[in-house]
Structure 1
Amino acid sequence: MSERLVVVGGDAAGMSAAAQARRLRDAGDLEIVVLEQGQDVSYSACGIPYWVGGQVGERSDLIARTPAEFAARGITVRTGTRAEAIDLAAGQVHTAGGERLGYDRLVVATGGRPVRPPIPGLDADGVHGVHRLDDGAAIRTAIDGLPGDRPRRGLVLGGGYIGLEMAEALQRRGLEVTVVLADPLPMQLLDADMGERVCAAMTAMGMTVHTDQAVREVLVDASGRACGVRTDVGSYDADLVVLGLGMGPEARLAADAGLALGPTGAVDVDRSQRCRDHPEVFAAGDCAQTFHRVTGEVAHVALGTHANKQGRVAGSVIGGRPARFAGVLGTALTKVGDLEVARTGLCTTQAEEAGFAYRTDTIEGTTRAGYYPGAEQVAVKLISESGSGQLLGAQVVGGPGAGKRIDVLATAIWAGMTAEDLAGSDLSYAPPFSPTYDPVVVAARKVSRTEQG
């Protein structure tokens, strides 16, 4: 007898779960229905800043597969269909249209929710989030404006990944850019010495950065449109306001149904992505709680890489193949101008909170052999456990070619390597790509030499 899998949410986690379940079970054995409240599925939200900035040409370029393409693979995708409630006892999803859709297996993949603090005026016209493709389209339309009435001043709230990327996107489109953040420096998952490099690069690009200033109010004009913000220090004018304040789990549908949430506010799941109290229900992606690979503690990290992997784990289990999610390091990479910014594992604040006795080591190097054209400066910082040299975290900030070195460091931390292990590893060398000793190895050698006395 055929079973039905219902997936709520049609982006990274949801579509990965649906696609993997279909690979393992044919349509005669498992019917798959995906409910998506928007009009797009399987799209790259991470690409929105680059679409806004003009590096990506068309909206369609950010869509990996359409509903029609999924239908050809035996997956029914119903766009414009909002799930209003889940009845766990009856095994049904209630839609906004009044339908009660039964399920044998359910995947909750409702994603993340942009952080929107209770600030007066935050919902005014002219204030834009960066979450869905429609958000990107709205920002593009606002930037294009009417002839003679295009915005000149863009203001970004927040200095995380989205904040940096949107600040650069607005500047590329010709706006004067101001960034306002409540934190002391941009990129709070970097240590201060590395964050200072990011802030300096933004200033050098011509951006105005105001730190340590929580926004108290979004100012509106007589028509009710946003025209600036007010902090405790001052007011800053703007024709366009973009929010980059981070993401939290969108778990309200799950919570209202009675699914247990963890201390992060995300759905509590085991390592197979099953909800602990309802084994027929799975949760994956930004709505689901996970755990940190280094500390073993619960975590919520909203990244598309994790969402796709978690969805695949859920789809594998539903399809009959055992699978377990292996945790996260929070490895991430972005850029502002020509400066590449990357991090993985624990920063010093996180290492201290986790109770590690740690040390930090930072080296300066170049992305290529120093004599080779195009060699750029790069700083590599390692956080390691004092005594053992166990790698706990890493940060890389530098010119073009610097950032992807974080993957070597993430792999080393994932594998439980010490600095000495990494220092002796066999990394590639050629002048167009690296000095004889890559900066990653130089940083590891610095740690291991000190640990050995």
Structure 2
Amino acid sequence: MSMSGGRGTAERLVVIGGDAAGMSAASQARRMRGPDELEIVAFERGRFTSFSACGIPYWVGGDVPERERLIARSPEEHRERDIDLRMRTEVTEIDVAGQRVRARDVDSGAGSWTPYDKLVIATGARPIRPDMPGADAPGVHGVQTLDDGQALLDSLARTRGRRAVVVGAGYIGVEMAEALVNRGYEVTVVNRGKEPMATLDPDMGRLVRRAMSGMGITMVDDAEVTKVFTGEDGRVRAVATQDAEYSADVVVLGIGVRPETSLARTAGLPLGAHGGLLTDLAMRVRGHENIWAGGDCVEVLDLVSGQERHIALGTHANKHGQVIGMNVGGGYATFPGVVGTAVSKVCALEIARTGLREKDARRAGLQYETVTIESTSRAGYYPGASLMTVKMLAERRTGRLLGVQIVGGEGAAKRVDIAAVALTARMTVEEMTALDLGYAPPFSPVWDPVLVAARKAAAKVRAGAR
């Protein structure tokens, strides 16, 4: 039954969330169907739409000179495409049975119900804030939205001191450490793990720690911040771990994010082990014909392990939005899953990973071999060649590639894409050794580092089989 009574014959699509997944879905649906067929109403509780959260550390660090460069499409541009986009409006309730959502104007507090025929949930993720005294003090910042980035920049402009503490050493933590180093801050990174970058195996994380220490960043590993101290003005002045205290004029939280699915949970929609919404291949919420979800609020299938994962990345969010918009608009598309590819950098060090870590492989019940090699980004004799370390996991007996991690200088990180394609194609390391990759001395040694690792892994698999 259509809920579009009083609106002619047009169906109504309601989108919750105005960033990558939500507005990609709205835009794609609009390309498929005109306003006479499909009315689109989108709600965004913040002040910005279609922005690059991944670019925030580079804006804060000064590599990107202005905020507007991170905005792919403004609210006005969306409205010009016949999308009824309502900014500073937060959806507070989803009535699944009644096919309607309740939204509240953030500034006035006024609320009202909006009926829908089709619903897209793209509520994103929220930064993990430690539950401790002083975590909400002025000068303590998360960096999830452009509003967060602006608040941090404003805080840096007001701060006389030059001491910064970054809590967490994942992607956001190391990228924010670089941003603050670029701003001339004395940076301390407090990390709960034994090594930074828990998305890598510890032996590869150790290389990141050594490099960050070499850049003058103080690394405090195996420690947890337990308290934030404030000065007489109420602003942060230090953070404490169980063993020590670190002075801080600004604190940045880089502990990670969780799916923002409180609305979905209250509405009784299905959530996975990581708290993200569960969808089918068409990104339709399981068990609900007219509700779709995408972006950082969903769980995705890991094509290597066969298990559900939560990965907050703009690449996936945009693909989810395209798939949802195609399906909502009457076409057909699917999102088959991910292999877990991610790249990052801290100053001159590039960091990349795809597929499974050793502990992921063990959790999935897989037996494996590992190899680690050192090579260079270019022919050794060519100027500017930089060192890199490549670690590769291959399944025991079958030789199927399971994962690759790379840490090194310029030219290291994007080599992980070779492995991402090989993982998607379910190639063996033996098959990888025959890949016809581009070669010339300015770009690669005769044997690309990834292929050197594949050769070594293939030999280890053969030896194990014997």
State the TM-score, normalized to the length of structure 2.
Answer: 0.95
Does the residue aligned with 2:289 lie in a helix, a strand or coil? Answer: strand
**Counterpart amino acid of 1:40?**
F
Q: Are the equivalent residues in 2 in contact too, given 1:143–1:151 (CA < 8 A)? A: no
Q: Deviations over 1:50-73 (max 9, x none)?
A: 000000011100000111111222
Match of 1:162 among 172, 180, 193: 172
Q: Tell me the CA shift for residue 211 of structure 1.
A: 0.3
CA distance in 2 between counterparts of 1:72 and 1:151 reads 45
Q: Deviations over 1:382-411 (max 9, x none)?
A: 111011110011101110011100011111
Q: Are the equivalent residues in 2 in contact too, given 1:33–1:76 (CA < 8 A)? A: yes
CA distance in 2 between counterparts of 1:209 and 1:452 reads 40
Q: Aligned-residue CA RMSD in angstroms?
A: 1.0
Q: Tell me the CA shift for residue 22 of structure 1.
A: 1.2
Task: State the partner residue of 2:267.
Answer: 257
Task: State the partner residue of 1:245.
Answer: 255
CA distance in 1 between counterparts of 2:350 and 2:451 reads 19
Task: State the partner residue of 1:409.
Answer: 419
Task: State the partner residue of 1:121.
Answer: 134
CA distance in 2 between counterparts of 1:58 and 1:451 reads 50
Task: State the partner residue of 2:289.
Answer: 279
Q: Are the equivalent residues in 1 in contact too, given 2:369–2:460 (CA < 8 A)? A: no
**Counterpart amino acid of 1:99?**
S
CA distance in 2 between counterparts of 1:451 and 1:195 reads 25
Task: State the partner residue of 2:351.
Answer: 341
Task: State the partner residue of 2:80.
Answer: 72
CA distance in 1 between counterparts of 2:288 and 2:400 reads 38
Q: Deviations over 1:161-220 (max 9, x none)?
A: 000000010111011000001110100010111101100111000010000001111112
1:55-94 pair list within 5 angstroms: 55-94=63-102
Match of 1:315 among 309, 325, 341: 325
Question: Is residue 350 of structure 1 aligned with residue 363 of structure 2?
Answer: no
Does the residue aligned with 1:248 lie in a helix, a strand or coil? Answer: strand
Poorly superposed stretches of 4+, deviation over 3 Å: none
Does the residue aligned with 1:452 lie in a helix, a strand or coil? Answer: helix
Q: Deviations over 1:199-249 (max 9, x none)?
A: 011100001000000111111222322111111111111000000000110
Q: Tell me the CA shift for residue 309 of structure 1.
A: 1.0
Q: Tell me the CA shift for residue 119 of structure 1.
A: 1.4
Q: Are the equivalent residues in 2 in contact too, given 1:412–1:422 (CA < 8 A)? A: yes
Q: Tell me the CA shift for residue 339 of structure 1.
A: 0.5
1:182-197 pair list within 5 angstroms: 182-197=192-207
Does the residue aligned with 2:246 lie in a helix, a strand or coil? Answer: strand
Does the residue aligned with 1:287 lie in a helix, a strand or coil? Answer: coil
Q: Tell me the CA shift for residue 112 of structure 1.
A: 0.3
State the TM-score, normalized to the length of structure 1.
Answer: 0.98
Bigger drift between 322-331 and 122-131 goes to: 322-331
Q: Percent identity at matched positions?
A: 53
CA distance in 1 between counterparts of 2:403 and 2:132 reads 35
CA distance in 2 between counterparts of 1:338 and 1:206 reads 13
**Counterpart amino acid of 2:310?**
H
**Counterpart amino acid of 2:300?**
T
Task: State the partner residue of 1:7.
Answer: 15
Match of 1:299 among 275, 291, 309: 309
**Counterpart amino acid of 2:282?**
S
CA distance in 2 between counterparts of 1:126 and 1:451 reads 52
Q: Tell me the CA shift for residue 110 of structure 1.
A: 0.3
Q: Tell me the CA shift for residue 151 of structure 1.
A: 2.8
CA distance in 2 between counterparts of 1:65 and 1:204 reads 40
Count of residues in Structure 1 that have an aligned counterpart in Structure 2:
450
Match of 1:48 among 43, 53, 56: 56
Match of 1:209 among 219, 222, 234: 219
Match of 1:198 among 208, 227, 248: 208
Task: State the partner residue of 1:151.
Answer: 161
Q: Tell me the CA shift for residue 77 of structure 1.
A: 1.4
Question: Is residue 399 of structure 1 aligned with residue 412 of structure 2?
Answer: no
Task: State the partner residue of 2:3.
Answer: none
Q: Are the equivalent residues in 2 in contact too, given 1:67–1:76 (CA < 8 A)? A: no
Q: Are the equivalent residues in 1 in contact too, given 2:225–2:241 (CA < 8 A)? A: yes
Q: Are the equivalent residues in 1 in contact too, given 2:128–2:258 (CA < 8 A)? A: yes
Q: Deviations over 1:398-425 (max 9, x none)?
A: 1001110001111101110000111111
Q: Are the equivalent residues in 2 in contact too, given 1:142–1:151 (CA < 8 A)? A: no
**Counterpart amino acid of 2:144?**
H
